[in-house]
Amino acid sequence: MKKLLVLLLLAVPFVAAKPLVLKPYEAYVMDYDRNTTGLVRHMKVYKAPKWVAKIMLQNGKKLFFSSPKSMIEFYHQPGKWFDIGVKSEADFKQILVTDYATMAPINARGAFYVYGSNVTSPAGDDLVPFANYDTAQRFAKEHNGKRVMAFAEIPKALINLLNGRI
């Protein structure tokens, strides 16, 4: 019995020392190529890399957009593109935009957007995304921006206004 207890005590550190396996960090990547076409405006997204946005769905499908405005248009009414199969916000795994200052992919929900600036995207009047609020404020001052907004503050009506539908 003592030998069994000693063996168990000796084995416990080896069992407990099993390496902890963490899920790999999911980096933000804009993995488009020259053939990637934006969902809403059907433009080749590589032609304007400062404006590319992307939604990755839970099922692994990647949707690209030629601008933040186009991505947010899809986000607010995915049923308009019923063939994509998005039924709720739970279908979105990752939503990315390109930081206008650094050209790095950033989380769209955490970004700050400049409305009303004199800078336009391939889709026309648009929302200019930044990872940092101060950078967005500075850009707004330099480019006649009217307002800096968080993702949650962008209403569907503003997208309609930017698209000339009001």
The model's pLDDT over 125-165, given as tens digits with 9 standing for 90+, comes to 999 999 999 999 999 999 999 999 999 999 999 999 999 98
The domain spans of the chain are: 26-162
Residue found under tokens 């607010």: 76
Residue 120, CA distances (Å) to 54, 126, 161 in order: 19, 6, 14
d(CA 19, CA 102) in angstroms, rounded, equals: 37
Three-state DSSP class for residue 57: strand
Give pLDDT tens digits for 77-121. 998 999 999 988 899 999 999 999 999 999 999 999 999 999 999
Instruction: Give the chain's count of helices (H) and strands (E).
Output: 4, 7
Q: What is the pTM of this model?
A: 0.83
